[in-house]
Amino acid sequence: MGTYRPCVSNGIHLFFAAFELGDGNGTDRLGVRSSFSGSSMNLGVNTLFLVTIYVEAILGLLLLFAWLQNVQIRAVAWWGCANLMRASSIVLFGMYGDVSEAVSIDLANAMLFLAYAVTWTGARVFDGRKALPIYLVAGPVVWVVVSHLPTFTDALDLRFLLASGIITAYTWLTAYEFWRGRSEPLVSRWPAIFVLFAHGSLFLLRTPLAAMLPWSPTKVFESVWLTVLSFETLLFTIATAFIFLAMAKERTEYRHKTAAMIDPLTGIANRRSFLNDSTELMRRRSAKPCPIAVLLIDLDHFKSINDRFGHAVGDRVLQIFAERAKETIRASDLVGRLGGEEFAAVLYNASQEKAVALAEQIRCAFAEATTEVDGCPVAATLSIGMVLNQDAALDLPELLAQADQALYEAKERGRNRVEVAACDLPHSCKDSPRLGAHTAKSAA
């Protein structure tokens, strides 16, 4: 790789606190002669340099391997490539003196900036947003162009400030992308935001920190900041790699859990999820009693719809019901698909008048939306059985049983209607339900 040592010059590589390598013969541009064996600090930087290369490469390969195990999370591949690009950047940096400065300084730093841009792009892809190719290469291009302007060529402070600004911008943008997706309940998202924001802040502070140091070219290796800042970057690399892996793992587990609770066709809660959520709602109600209504809903003559128009239209009818139901019920209410063409809903803290009005709204909205489905004159309707409970401490199975009896009554009385079973006590609900009809003919 050649002999290298940090020195204060016009090259900048942010991984090592903006110090440039020597000329390969142990002499820097300021004429300071040194060797690796001549200073314990020099040996420490050399070791840290090599360790950083190995760590970046290993973490990059680890992330790519994790992506191959679950190719659906493409962001992991972006992050793996970013680590490998940082490793390549440091290798090019270490070739100073053996290759031209265009490679060991310009290309090395441009590749470093591109690595941070790729990390940012991975954060966008992780939350379902598109990559932005122009902004992806904007940082490296700005560096290559601006750093060769006459004002910047021999101004180390300006070049260093420019490089720090580019990396801070990409790092903070990465933190912002994770912040934008905070609605997804991933615990590991928050450590990622904190680490990225802190790392970007430290990059922005590096120039003032360096200006405060009593620099002496002959004592450049004795600077504690050179080791501290470089070591911080190494720790940042390790921390973010494992946080990204944790986020990918947590995302996979969350989606599996969600898939187990969501009906894939309609997008609403499946039977298991609905019963679990309803039971929890009942438990909350026992602590603070309030009126509650349970609806059992069945699409009328659904088998006939499948037979006449095909299963594709039948599936679309089920989806239309789910859409109209979600639009109608309140945020505190629940709706789910129990199986086939049968659905259920729980209306929390709803009086009889409000519950009946919501049920009628669902029935009418569904009938209107299915007058024609995919060009077919479907004109589907539904029947609803409802049980209202004011104070009695009934469990969900008892309420569903009463709603089922009310649904049966709705079917017997001609379908396309809402039937209400009023019950006040557990024994009256089980033994002698009092069915009252709330009938509303379809507009069709």
Assess whether 335 and 423 both reside in one domain: yes
CATH of the domain at 379: 3.30.70.270
More confident site: 383 or 259: 383
Pair type for strands 382-389 and 292-299 = antiparallel
Is 3 within the bounds of a domain? no
Mean pLDDT of 131-152: 91
Q: Which domain, by its residues, includes 309?
A: 271-438
Is 5 within the bounds of a domain? no
How sure is the predictor about 161, in pLDDT bands with cuts at 50, 70 and 90?
Answer: confident
CATH of the domain at 122: 1.20.1070
Is the pLDDT at 21 greater than 60? The verdict is no
Is 7 within the bounds of a domain? no
Is the pLDDT at 19 greater than 50? The verdict is no
Q: Are 12 and 20 in contact (CB under 8 A)?
A: yes
Domain termination residue (choose one: 226, 260, 294): 260
Name the strand (E) or helix (H) holding 334. strand 334-339
pLDDT of residue 95: 86
Closest by CA to 365, choosing from 332, 330, 321, is 321
Q: Would you give the distance in Å from CA 226 to the centre of its chain?
A: 35
Is 25 within the bounds of a domain? yes
Counting other chains too, the contacts that 400-403 makes at CB distance below 8 Å and 24 or more residues apart are: 400/294, 400/296, 400/344, 401/429, 401/430, 402/294, 402/429, 402/433, 403/294, 403/295, 403/296, 403/344
Assess whether 277 and 245 both reside in one domain: no
Assess whether 255 and 324 both reside in one domain: no
Lowest average pLDDT, out of 33-37, 50-54, 304-308, 312-316, goes to 33-37
Assess whether 287 and 430 both reside in one domain: yes
Assess whether 178 and 106 both reside in one domain: yes
Assess whether 310 and 414 both reside in one domain: yes
Assess whether 320 and 226 both reside in one domain: no
Tell me the one-letter amino acid at 375: G
How sure is the predictor about 22, in pLDDT bands with cuts at 50, 70 and 90?
Answer: very low
Lowest average pLDDT, out of 1-5, 128-132, 256-260, 269-273, goes to 1-5
Assess whether 238 and 382 both reside in one domain: no
pLDDT of residue 8: 36
What share of the chain in percent tops pLDDT 90? 53
The torsion of the CA quartet 66, 53, 202, 193, rounded to 10 degrees, works out to 0
Mean pLDDT of 422-443: 41
Assess whether 315 and 348 both reside in one domain: yes
Assess whether 241 and 283 both reside in one domain: no
Is the pLDDT at 23 greater than 90? The verdict is no
Is 299 within the bounds of a domain? yes
Is 6 within the bounds of a domain? no
**Looking at the DSSP assignment, which residues form a beta bridge with residue 438?**
418
pLDDT of residue 391: 64
Instruction: Give the number of domains in the chain.
Output: 2
* Cα distance between residue 378 and residue 243, in whole Å: 51
How sure is the predictor about 153, in pLDDT bands with cuts at 50, 70 and 90?
Answer: confident
